[in-house]
């Protein structure tokens, strides 16, 4: 194996820093002006790079948005895993993960919009399938752990995950657009009720 020289190592660090600066700039523009304002030229101007420099890292705006979408799913996964690690029991895990999901949407609105095709952002699902499936797997594991603790069958656990995710997405999205009376505080309470009601229904039915 050829040892990397200090000069080459420095170039690699610089390249990674450039790439991250591009991603950060795109997020900042989206957060303040919306995704419609994000162009490779605007990104280049913001970080004082030449326009061609952007294309050394991303072949198109679409490639840049795809990477930001993947970054969003990786960050969401980390938030869900942290919530799962903090909780005291399987039922609290599901509750805390639901709250973490909503908090992520509200804290990282620009990424959430990219991840879900909102505000005109359109990314092919294949571009972020691996990262998206990792998030779904985390939610599935939490529901399976709860079901095992409650003696509930999990023949249709994937449907249960989809039901929970779809409902939380609706609540989070409505709150983002200020369409829930009482704002995010009320939305968080609704998310908590969704979890409690669904778990209660599945407990009674003895299956998910």
Fold entry, domain 66-205: Tetracycline Repressor; domain 2 (1.10.357)
Region 102-115: what's the mean pLDDT?
A: 97
CB neighbour class for 37 (10 Å; exposed up to 12, middle 13-18, buried from 19): exposed
* CATH of the structural domain 1-59, one choice from 1.10.10.60, 2.40.50.180, 2.40.10.230, 3.40.50.2300: 1.10.10.60
pLDDT tens-digit series, residues 118-130: 888 888 999 999 9
The four Cα atoms 50, 113, 91, 158 give a dihedral, to 10 degrees, of -100
Which residue spans of the chain are classified as CATH 1.10.357.10? 66-205
Which residue(s) pair with 153 in the sheet? 207
Look at phi and psi of residue 34 and say left if phi exceeds 0, alpha if psi is from -120 to 50, else beta: left
* Per-residue model confidence as pLDDT tens digits over 138-187: 999 999 999 999 999 999 999 999 999 999 999 999 999 999 999 999 99
- State pLDDT tens for residues 15-41: 999 999 999 999 999 999 999 999 999
> pTM score > 0.95 for this model?
no
* Residue ranges of the chain assigned to CATH 1.10.10.60: 1-59
3-state helix, strand, coil in the chain (%, to 5): 80, 0, 20
Query: What is the pLDDT, as a whole number, of residue 155?
Result: 93
């Amino acid at each position: 194996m050829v040892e990397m020289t200090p000069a080459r190592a420095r170039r690699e660090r610089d390249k990674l820093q450039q790439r991250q600066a591009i991603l950060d700039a795109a997020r900042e523009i989206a957060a303040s002006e919306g995704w419609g304002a994000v162009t490779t030229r605007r990104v280049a101007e913001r970080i004082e790079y030449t326009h061609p420099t952007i294309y050394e890292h991303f072949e198109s705006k679409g490639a840049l948005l795809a990477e930001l979408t993947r970054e969003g799913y990786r960050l969401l996964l980390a938030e869900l895993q942290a919530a799962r690690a903090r909780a005291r029991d399987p039922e609290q895990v599901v509750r805390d993960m639901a709250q973490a999901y909503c908090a992520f949407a509200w804290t990282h609105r620009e990424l959430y919009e990219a991840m879900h095709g909102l505000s005109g952002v359109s990314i092919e699902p294949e571009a972020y399938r691996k990262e998206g499936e990792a998030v779904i797997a985390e939610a599935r594991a939490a529901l399976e752990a709860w079901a095992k603790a409650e003696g509930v069958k999990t023949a249709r656990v994937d449907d249960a995950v989809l039901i929970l995710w779809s409902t939380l997405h609706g609540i989070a999205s409505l709150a983002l657009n200020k369409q829930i009376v009482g704002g995010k505080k009320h939305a968080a309470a609704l998310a908590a009720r969704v979890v409690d009601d669904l778990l209660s229904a599945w407990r009674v039915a003895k299956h998910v």
